[in-house]
Structure 1
């Protein structure tokens, strides 16, 4: 399960933070690191602060966009302050997040996404996630270094893994339905947009209808089979080719 947990760092400015994050990962048994447009990588400072976790750096994948980093993931959890205007499912406690992530990681990749040192994740990037998680901290000073945030969430994942590993009940639990990948969910959203637009349903561009529906389906967490059923329904609602009439 740990091999299916992917740490994604978006546009990291200081290469030393990449190295420190790699060190935090390795101490908790995580090896999958993806970097989205880092300012400088590879870099000597990253190697220095990795402190022996250079294998994580050597195997890191560098991509151009967050979508490319997470398209094959069945759960994408963005680490950020809770944003009420983006009503994605939210984990108020990292330990709850870790249990959910491990459950999904039994069958497919799960991504934990961290934003820029100064500004975090953009709204568009959070919309690319299926869930959000926040780290409870001092309300008067809740500022965490990037690698510290990685360390905390990685620790919670490793702790949940240790707990499940020692529990016979966890291994006997019935297999959950396989969730769709982020790419499959994106195709569903595009299909839904096409049908709603063609039907004339989207008549109020400022009503945020699509955003609210996206949040609804994110909270529902449909399985791949259920998402396929929904796409079949959308196909049935699409008007036929006029030439067929």
Structure 2
């Protein structure tokens, strides 16, 4: 489905914007890039700013006319910062646009078309689109960089695709830490009690403080690795306490 979604850049002036657009595409799983009469391409600045998406640039096609870029598409959505009087269906929200684009992309190619950095798409180019979409922004400063606009619409498309049952998308989550067994937790609590007693922190057995600390660690639900780290700390404290006691006894014998 995503392979049927095409990004078309019309007469891009800065080659760096092409590289950044390719990077925005790749992060959202898009790979079909078509360039209509770019001012300068290929270019080292485009490759530099692609930052790992050079494969998208390598696969990009360069054509002379917008009609060549969208001839096989069943839906062509022009990104425009301003509304025009042309009688085209207009998406006020990018997510609504993405839903229809993904629906059409199940069977056939579709295109999202972006114009020049300063002037956008011309009226003639808009007429070659089937729909328009705008990105809602601050009415006092609604200016987006070309690659930013590509990123926003590519994200919405990827979001709509993720919600499709056929996408089989899997979110990346950290591996679940293995919890300790009850026996391991019991050994830790016993070790903690010994250290608290030998350090003089507790002066009475079964003190409320001991119960509160055990409850604290139970509520924290440390993993096996974390519990092992805590027991290592307790062992180091035990060794330090034993060394201090031995030094005290040695000093006492010397005084005698």
TM category (shorter chain) comes to 0.5 to 0.7
Counterpart for residue 104 of structure 1: 104
TM-score normalized by structure 1?
0.67
**C-alpha distance in 2, partners of 1:59/1:98?**
24
Matches within 5 A, 1:90-169: 90-165=90-165
Q: Summarize the alignment of residues 1-245 of structure 1 with structure 2, pairs less than 5 Å apart.
A: 1-165=1-165
CA displacement at 1:82 relative to structure 2: 4.2
CA root-mean-square deviation: 1.3
Per-residue CA distance 1:164-196 (angstroms, 9 max, x = gap): 13789xxxxxxxxxxxxxxxxxxxxxxxxxxxx
Instruction: State how far apart, in whole Å, the 2-side matches of 1:166 and 1:76 are.
Output: 23
CA distance in 2 between partners of 1:128 and 1:69 (Å): 11
Q: How far apart in 2 are the matches of 1:165 and 1:59?
A: 29
TM-superposed deviation, 1:83: 2.7
CA distance in 1, matches of 2:17, 2:76: 21
Rounded to whole Å, the distance in 1 between the matches of 2:70 and 2:63 is 10
Gaps of 5+ in 1: 169-245
Greater RCO, CA 8 A, separation 6+: 1
Give the 3-state SS of the residue equivalent to 2:164 in structure 1: helix
**Post-superposition CA distance 1:186-207 (Å, at most 9, x none):** xxxxxxxxxxxxxxxxxxxxxx
The TM-score with structure 2 as length reference comes to 0.64
SS at match of 2:23: helix
Mapped partners of 2:50, 2:32: distance in 1: 14
| SS of corresponding position for 1:132 | strand
Greater Rg by CA: 2
Alpha-carbon deviation of 1:87?
Answer: 1.6
Aligned residue pairs total 168
For residues 167 and 155 of structure 1, do their structure 2 counterparts lie closer, same or farther at Cα, with a shift above 3 Å needed? closer
